Structure 1
Amino acid sequence: MATVSLERVRKLYPNGHVGIEDASFDIADGELLVLVGPSGCGKTTLLRMIAGLESISAGTLRIDGRVVNDVAPKDRDIAMVFQNYALYPHMTVAENLGFGLHLRGKSKDDIERRVHEAARLLELEHRLDARPASLSGGQRQRVALGRALVREPKVFLLDEPLSNLDAKLRLTMRVEIARLHRRLGTTTIYVTHDQVEAMTLGERIVVLDGGKIQQIDTPMNLYDKPANLFVAGFLGSPAMNLLCGRLRWENGWYLAMPHGPLPLGTLPLQTPMLETWRDREIVLGMRPEDLQPAASHAAVMEAKVEVIEPVGNEVFLNLRFWDNTLVSRVPPQHMPAPCTSMQLGFNADRLHFFDAESGLRIT
């Protein structure tokens, strides 16, 4: 196992495009860290730089305290699992698992020991003589994981390993990866564009956009205290509701919007920090679970129901509030018909406030 440390790591391509800008963070020994962001944000580029498959334009990368900027991938003691399984179709599962060890000149007994140990961990013991064509998608993915596992590396690098699986199998494999990491305790860096995967797997998450790190924190801190509008809108399903307006006070805070005021109440927890933002443009955020149907005397807004999405244990209400679209997450209950209006209230203590110009969280 090992630590990984990035200090102002930068990737500049010959055409002038900056793939990664000043990435700095440390990964603890045995930690599972997730790199997440939309397509093109630089997460895979960053992972490939750690692996040695992309050169580093500037900055310092250390693995277990050793600077590895110019160290070949094979000498970094890492193992990488790609989105594409890349299994050898003419080889059995056992041969696929042990092929890398064979190339490194390991003894036959050592290879056999490691292959059987990985197969046991991944529940592939009964499929060691099978070829990839006869395996399910989940079994192929486990073979790809096992091929990295037998290497017994200092660091695992996983690049969107579940993207090719269907939703049910992705959930199963996600649990298997979490369980495997807990048992092995190997330092792991996991890349995904799926924010649910990131939230459920990562001990910490690095959120990237446009090649820049937006925030690094634990899953729940990212959810409860997003650093900016990008993080607020990217993490959470459904996404956070965002309303723009001018913050004002008159017997209580309210958001002055083009179609009228939205009362916010006294906001006792936020009042000190909001004083300096009086009469300034802000963005108000509220999570879907904090926007709820309310009795008329407790309502602060009225919205039109557009689409109702029942998903079993909860219901998503897609609403129209003037020119704004909102989503409310509610328990299964009797709902108004589409195209009718409903009264809504929100948890004032759980509102989020952002600078409309910079997008940064107001704290």
Structure 2
Amino acid sequence: MAKVTLDRLRKVYPNGFVGVDDATFEIGDGELLVLVGPSGCGKSTLLRMIAGLETITSGQLGIGDRIVNDVAPKDRDIAMVFQSYALYPHMTVAENLGFGLKLRGAPKDEVARRVRESARMLELEPLLDRKPAALSGGQRQRVALGRALVRQPQVFLLDEPLSNLDAKLRASTRVEIARLHRTLGTTMIYVTHDQVEAMTLGQRIVVLDKGRIQQIDTPMALYNRPANLFVATFLGSPKMNLLQGVLAERGDGFSLRIADDNELPLHPEPDLRERVRAHLGKPLTVGLRPEDLSLAAPAPGHLQARVDTVEPVGNEAFLNLDCGGSELVVRLPPRDLPRPGDVVHLGHNPEHMHYFDPERGGSLRA
């Protein structure tokens, strides 16, 4: 096990494109850290820099007590699991698991022992004599994980390892990876574009966009206190509702004046009042999670919206609404739901509001 330290890591391609810009953070010894973001955000590039598969333009990368910028991938004591299984089709599961150790000259009894241990952890023991063609997609992915596991490296790197699996297998394999991490206590860096994977697996999450780090924190801290509009709308399914309007004073608080004469009362916490007040007479963006909106009786301060579609998904339902040109989603229990075309009134939880500068995108809480 080892910590991994990134100090102002930068990757610039020959055509001038900046793939990763000023990445600075530390992955603790034994931590499972997730790199998440949309396609092209730099997360896989960053992982490949840690693996030694991409050259580092500037900055320093440390694994354990070594600076490894110029260390060959095979000497970094890391193991990588790719999106594709990359199994040898002519080898059995046991031979695939032990192949890396054989290349490194490990004794036969050592190879056999580690293969057995990995197979037991991943429930592959009944499959050791099969070849990859006789395995399901989930079984092949477990073999790919096991091949990394037998190496017993200081750091595991996983590059979207579940993206080729169907939804049910993704969920079950995600549980296996979390269980493996708890069992092994090994440092793991996991790349995904799936925010559900990021939220359920990561002890901490690094959110990236356009090659730059947007925020680093625990899953629930990112969900409850996003640093900017990108993080607010990227994490969460459905994404955070955003209402845009002009800030005005209203009694002992403020209000957000939006289209169709809708007005949303705002009561920011004391430490936020002056930052919100600075936007009087100016545009302001307010965010509310779908679970922080609810159906309510008509009353001052309740938004009015028209139901566009209703999505019952079993244990809950989502109302898609048009509120003065703004699209809103409300998460509700699946009972007594309105119909498309109905006009509804919405209550909200003022304590769970998020305030953003619409010009710069930053949270006023930051």
**In the alignment, structure 1 residue 253 sits paired with structure 2 residue 216:** no
2:262·2:303 contact (CA, 8 Å) conserved in 1?
A: no
Count of residues paired in the alignment: 363
Matches within 5 A, 1:134-213: 134-213=134-213
Q: TM-score, normalised by structure 2?
A: 0.97
SS in 1 for 2:278: helix
What whole-Å deviation, never above 9, does each CA across 1:282-336 have from its counterpart, x for those lacking one?
1110000001101223761111111111111111111111211100001121111
Quote the Cα distance in structure 1 between the aligned partners of 2:212 and 2:180.
30
What whole-Å deviation, never above 9, does each CA across 1:226-256 have from its counterpart, x for those lacking one?
0000000100000000111121112231112
Quote the Cα distance in structure 2 between the aligned partners of 1:27 and 1:206.
10
Amino acid aligned to 2:136: S
What whole-Å deviation, never above 9, does each CA across 1:40-88 have from its counterpart, x for those lacking one?
0000000000000000000000000210000000000000000000101
Q: TM-score, normalised by structure 1?
A: 0.98
Amino acid aligned to 1:263: L
Amino acid aligned to 1:89: P
Quote the Cα distance in structure 2 between the aligned partners of 1:358 and 1:157.
34
After alignment, is 310-319 or 184-193 more displaced? 310-319
- Aligned equivalent of 1:284: 286
Quote the Cα distance in structure 2 between the aligned partners of 1:108 and 1:74.
21
**In the alignment, structure 1 residue 307 sits paired with structure 2 residue 304:** no
After alignment, is 189-198 or 237-246 more displaced? 237-246
- Counterparts in 2 of 1:183 and 1:298: CA distance versus 1, 3 Å: farther
2:259·2:325 contact (CA, 8 Å) conserved in 1?
A: no
What whole-Å deviation, never above 9, does each CA across 1:95-124 have from its counterpart, x for those lacking one?
000000010001100000000000000000
- Counterparts in 2 of 1:113 and 1:103: CA distance versus 1, 3 Å: same
Amino acid aligned to 1:315: A
Deviation at 1:345, TM superposition (A): 1.0
- Aligned equivalent of 2:295: 293
Amino acid aligned to 1:306: D
Amino acid aligned to 1:260: D
After alignment, is 301-310 or 244-253 more displaced? 244-253
% of aligned pairs identical?
64
Amino acid aligned to 2:364: I
- Counterparts in 2 of 1:332 and 1:286: CA distance versus 1, 3 Å: same
Matches within 5 A, 1:1-363: 1-251=1-251, 252-269=253-270, 270-297=272-299, 300-363=302-365
Quote the Cα distance in structure 2 between the aligned partners of 1:326 and 1:130.
51
Quote the Cα distance in structure 2 between the aligned partners of 1:261 and 1:195.
32
Deviation at 1:272, TM superposition (A): 4.1
| CA RMSD, 1 decimal | 1.1
1:34·1:202 contact (CA, 8 Å) conserved in 2?
A: yes
Amino acid aligned to 1:244: Q
Quote the Cα distance in structure 2 between the aligned partners of 1:193 and 1:266.
35
Deviation at 1:280, TM superposition (A): 2.4
